[in-house]
Amino acid sequence: MRPAPTVVEGVRVLRLPDAAAVAAAAAAALIDAIYQAQAQGRDPVIGVATGDTPQATYARVTAAVESGCLDPARAWIVALDEYVGLGRDDPRRYRHELLRKVVEPWGVDPTRLLVPEVDSADLTEAAHVFEERLAAIGGVDLQLLGIGRNGHVGFNEPGSDPEQGTRLVRLAPSTRAANAVHFRSVDEVPQEAVSQGLATILRARRLLLLATGPQKAAAVAAALGPEADGPVPASVIRSHPHVTVVLDHDAARLLR
């Protein structure tokens, strides 16, 4: 039998035994969002996170596409963020990661991948253009979120203003250390990124935050529990009317 969601601080929380169960639940929600938009005669707009947590979810959606149950060719795929300072063809750019893991395997038209532009000399203007394009496609139906060990969502690090939109951000040292596994050393990890702001994220019609593993337990507890050291960025999801948090046993460990 499937565990029932509980409500913590007004947020629906689904606690599942392991990361595979989290991926299955998240993939089902994602597929449902695509079906729902298609049933309404609209092109689905799916906000995706990069990083390790959602990879198994994307693989399950790919399996649904390959089995012929799902055709997201006309979906829009919207990134949360992009590193600043990597070469255009660097495979660690989030644009390339999303092309490899989402756009190509799901059969989405690559012109429908929306990622903050980071090659422009004027990144403030580029962030503004990203917001405008996002608004022009009707906003995000379902935004998938991971959570950083320090409670960031997107690259909104602790101290981010919840009213801010997409902008140039500086990565916290702990974020650079966590992401160093994808680089030869921590020194290679970019110092900056352009990230959707917390206000941008909160405009999505639905939010789905995933967390797996013991290294996320403290951040999850801070996002959904009493805030000893002030609010972590992820706690803004509490103010969203349609949010679900899906956790494995380890990530839920410190949650009351």
Binding region for ligand F6R (CB under 6 A) out of 110-118, 145-153, 184-192, 243-251: 145-153
Residue 102 to residues 113, 187, 200, Cα–Cα distance (Å): 10, 28, 21
Q: Counting contacts by CB under 6 A, is residue 81 touching ligand F6R?
A: yes
Half-sphere exposure of 88 (CA within 13 A, CB side): 2
The first and second tokens of residue 204, run together, are 């999505």
The dihedral sign for the CA sequence 31, 204, 16, 233: positive
Q: Counting contacts by CB under 6 A, is residue 153 touching ligand F6R?
A: yes
- In the list 47, 72, 116, 154, the residue contacting ligand F6R (rule: CB under 6 A) is 154
Annotation marks residue 179 as catalytic: no
Residues numbered 93 to 112 that lie near ligand F6R (CB under 6 A) are none
**Shortest Å, Cβ 39 to ligand F6R:** 28
DSSP letter for 49, please: -
**Shortest Å, Cβ 152 to ligand F6R:** 5
Question: Looking at beta carbons only, is 74 or 133 nearer to ligand F6R?
Answer: 133
Interaction pattern, residues 186-225, with ligand F6R; x per rule: CB under 6 A: ----------------------------------------
Annotation marks residue 81 as catalytic: yes
Whether residue 162 contacts residue 199, with contact meaning beta carbons closer than 8 Å, is answered with yes
Residue 64 to residues 27, 138, 204, 208, Cα–Cα distance (Å): 9, 25, 24, 19
Whether residue 50 contacts residue 91, with contact meaning beta carbons closer than 8 Å, is answered with no
Which spans of this chain sit near ligand F6R (rule: CB under 6 A)?
A: 49-53, 80-81, 146-148, 152-155
